[in-house]
Structure 1
Amino acid sequence: MTDAPLATQAPPGGDGLLDDGRSAAEALAAHLAAEAGSFLRELPSVDLHTLRRVGAALHTFDALLDPGWSQDLREELSRLGGLLGQERAYARRLARLLGSLDSLTCTDAAVAAADAGGPVRTAGPVPQPRQAEGLLARHPGAPKARALLDRQLTLGRSRAHTTALQELGSARFHALADRMTLLVTDLPLRPGAAPAPAAALLACAGAEAEALVTAVDALPLERAAVAYSGDMLHDPGDDQRWQQVRVLVLRTQYALEVCAPLAGGRAAAPAAALAELARTLARHRDAAEAAEAAALAALTPRITPATAYVLGVVHADQRLEVEAARHTFSSTWPDLDRSGWLTDAWLKNR
């Protein structure tokens, strides 16, 4: 390892690429075989991360694969991942919303003072500073709001669990497992793709990165750069665009993982930066989904105005979390973009 900046370091080889003699198809097949093997070993459990990695590789490197087979398998993996992910999504929303309520209704002066950055007294009478209590402390609607959220989301999680169990025992799932076995033994390729040089993987990864940059350029990053403006309190209209950026961040990260044997150590830093962006956007997704769940709960017939008010405050709290995640992304993305790590030229070290 030299002391040169990472973006200019080159692994051994005349063109900056590591060459182990494999073609692009052989390198991709090895990666997919490893992921499919992991999927099969975990059965009957399913690792959603493995599903995403396989689906992302099939999408990014589609130019090398039999198109009909690849698209059909991608759609099956996406359907299964969405179905199995529902139970975890309900659990995330419930934990996030109850955590928000706990914070907003906190009346423990020691905890509240610590949260506010003040001193925590361990002896003698504990003061009860009003400014350190939660916004909804002692609010009469809070217990009913908590019970309503708990009941609705627990019911949703139970139904999703039942659906997941039915899916895992279905003939359709077993057929998918058989198709994953094919990834371990015989990857279906496009005609003429077999002799493509390994560098073709980098071109596919570069195209994925370019799609990510284009999607981010369409985001309102100027608005997101202003912290706590309240801009996102009542405007979920942009959530889907941000979610699509998260998908592209993950695809680009996974593409770099596929290319790591070829790009050498140069791929590690951008992959780590993309993983951090993905975590930020996962918080964005979780907060947006939790806010939506609180808003839906507030539409429950015959709830009291006090309960509806509490749910409205929780909704606003989660929309502020959405805004905070967007601000974090807007502060982090420019460094990654300026680094040149996501360009086809850098990937090939030209």
Structure 2
Amino acid sequence: MAQQHREMTSTGTGTGVPSGTGGGAGSAGEVLTVYLQEQATEFLRSLRLHRESSADTQGAEESSAAARSLRRAARRISGTLHTFAPLLDADWSSALRPELAWLSGTLAQEHAYALRLERLSGALHRLSGTPEPSGVGVGPGAGAGSGPYLGAGAVSRTGVLAASAVSARRNAWPQATATVPGPGGTGPGGPGGPESGAGGGHRGATVRGPAAGATLRGPAADTGPRGPAAGATTRGLAVGAAKAAALLERQLTLARTRAHSAALQALGSSRFHAVADSVAVLASEVPVRGAAGHDLRHLAASAEAALAEAVGALPLGQAGHPYNAGALVHGLGAETAPDAQDAPWLKVRSLLRLHRYAQEVVLGHAPPQPRVLDASHALNVHREAAAAAAAAAQAARTPRIAPATAYALGVLHADQRHDVEAARFAFQQAWPHEEVRAR
């Protein structure tokens, strides 16, 4: 295993980088070398902290924080190698980039499953009108995924706007649908039937989603006389929500446990040792090569152009309307339909991340532009909500679940897809208006 090298100063230069030259490839190489060495040092420091905290039985929180820091450093190194590849050794860069992506993806799974469970649990409590248990909606990552729509800790201006818009829409839905029974009670989707999972989930998501969301928040918490039909419906939804929460907890906790085991196995593998050795070498020597016609700003502009092209392919005109229901267009379609419509937004998220990292290299430690932060936050919420909706749909496909459980999962699926729509609206509000008009 590679040992941690001493921290490099800002005067360090890589192989073949002439020090003190003004402009051209030499100056670009110096700046790129300093940035990569800083990230490599952060990678090695986080790795050391992760080992020390993992050996301590009381260091679970410190271990998780170190793993996140390790993942951030790996993402930044990989993104920088991708954007500024013409300034680096091609063979070395193309060999290290996929290994860093593998490491970052492996370490991200456990945190993603925990955040998904927290988000879905908070949504179920909110929809059923019951208070959340202590610990839900707080802690690391809660701001992005546990609160309604854009998170309880959302601080972006566009996030607050989208949350208010969709909340107002839900409150505006007629309350006359409060006594509509669950879709699994009639038809072929009865207990043990072939559609008790997927059919009930999608039917609840598309047909009764918004109305059911308003019903769960209001009448479910109302103890006054509402009539026998409304009382029976309220009790059935409460039972379905409880069973849906238990099913999701079992499935996501199992997935999180497996992801934790996979992360531990990866950190002890020879493949990771090779990655750590390469990063340790990177902390002292960066294989920069001269490339005529390329500099940092030119390559960063290329990354920004790729982002602008991907944004231009998004339906921003539709996303500019807060009630367009675009995220539920394929609610009853094929299983892969939501993934197909989410893919362009996920691509923009990846390209926006590369743009941010490129700006960190070019501008140093200057803070990102507010629009970039707001857009990044909206796309992060978009990905989390889409993944949570997929988890609810997958749980609804569980064989032999009760109709009330399938219906609750369908309502939960619709709720998360509405979060997806709200995040798209927030991104459209955060992105420069001249680009939106051009679209």
Aligned to 1:42: 46
Give me the TM-score of the superposition, normalised by structure 1.
0.78
1:82 aligns with 2:82: no
1:165 aligns with 2:251: no
Aligned to 1:256: 359
Aligned to 1:224: 319
Q: Aligned in 2, Cα 1:134/1:31: closer, same or farther, shift over 3 Å?
A: farther
Aligned length: 295
Aligned to 1:329: 427
Moved more, 286-295 or 60-69: 60-69
1:320 aligns with 2:418: yes
1:299 is matched with which residue: 393, 397, 417? 397
Give unpaired runs (5+ residues) of structure 1: 1-18, 109-114, 119-128, 339-350
Distance 1:92 1:131 in 2: 23
Amino acid of the structure 1 residue aligned with 2:95: D
Aligned to 2:218: 132
Distance 1:180 1:336 in 2: 41
Amino acid of the structure 2 residue aligned with 1:52: R
Distance 1:130 1:65 in 2: 56
Instruction: Give per-residue Cα distances to partners, 1:129-183, cap 9 Å, x unaligned.
Output: 9973459854121111110000000010001001101111111111101100121
Instruction: Give per-residue Cα distances to partners, 1:257-295, cap 9 Å, x unaligned.
Output: 10014xxx9x6453x431221111000000000000000
Aligned to 1:212: 307
Aligned to 1:244: 347
Distance 1:23 1:137 in 2: 68
Q: Aligned in 2, Cα 1:132/1:59: closer, same or farther, shift over 3 Å?
A: same
- The CA RMSD over aligned residues, in Å, is 2.6
Aligned to 1:96: 119
- The question of whether the paired residues in 2 share the 8 Å contact of 1:250 and 1:275 is answered with no
Distance 2:368 2:402 in 1: 52
Q: Aligned in 2, Cα 1:163/1:219: closer, same or farther, shift over 3 Å?
A: same
Amino acid of the structure 2 residue aligned with 1:160: A
Distance 1:30 1:73 in 2: 18
- The question of whether the paired residues in 1 share the 8 Å contact of 2:89 and 2:287 is answered with yes
Q: Aligned in 2, Cα 1:229/1:134: closer, same or farther, shift over 3 Å?
A: farther
- The question of whether the paired residues in 2 share the 8 Å contact of 1:86 and 1:157 is answered with yes
- The question of whether the paired residues in 1 share the 8 Å contact of 2:99 and 2:275 is answered with yes
Amino acid of the structure 2 residue aligned with 1:334: P
Distance 2:267 2:383 in 1: 26
Question: How many Å apart are 1:229 and its aligned residue?
Answer: 2.3
Instruction: Give per-residue Cα distances to partners, 1:226-274, cap 9 Å, x unaligned.
Output: 112222122512211100100111110111110014xxx9x6453x431
- The question of whether the paired residues in 2 share the 8 Å contact of 1:106 and 1:137 is answered with no
Q: Aligned in 2, Cα 1:171/1:295: closer, same or farther, shift over 3 Å?
A: same
Aligned to 1:32: 36
Aligned to 2:279: 180
Distance 1:302 1:25 in 2: 61
- The question of whether the paired residues in 2 share the 8 Å contact of 1:294 and 1:311 is answered with yes
Aligned to 1:189: 288
Secondary structure at the aligned position of 1:186 is classed as coil
Q: Aligned in 2, Cα 1:208/1:336: closer, same or farther, shift over 3 Å?
A: farther
Distance 1:295 1:212 in 2: 31
Distance 1:256 1:56 in 2: 11
Q: Aligned in 2, Cα 1:269/1:149: closer, same or farther, shift over 3 Å?
A: closer
Aligned to 1:202: 297
Instruction: Give per-residue Cα distances to partners, 1:70-108, cap 9 Å, x unaligned.
Output: 111110011111111110110111011101100011146
Secondary structure at the aligned position of 1:232 is classed as helix
1:53 is matched with which residue: 76, 82, 87? 76
Give me the TM-score of the superposition, normalised by structure 2.
0.63
Identity %: 47
- The question of whether the paired residues in 1 share the 8 Å contact of 2:356 and 2:368 is answered with no
2:95 is matched with which residue: 60, 63, 72? 72
- The question of whether the paired residues in 1 share the 8 Å contact of 2:126 and 2:217 is answered with no
Distance 1:173 1:250 in 2: 24
Give unpaired runs (5+ residues) of structure 2: 1-19, 51-66, 132-163, 172-214, 222-232, 332-336
2:247 is matched with which residue: 148, 151, 165? 148
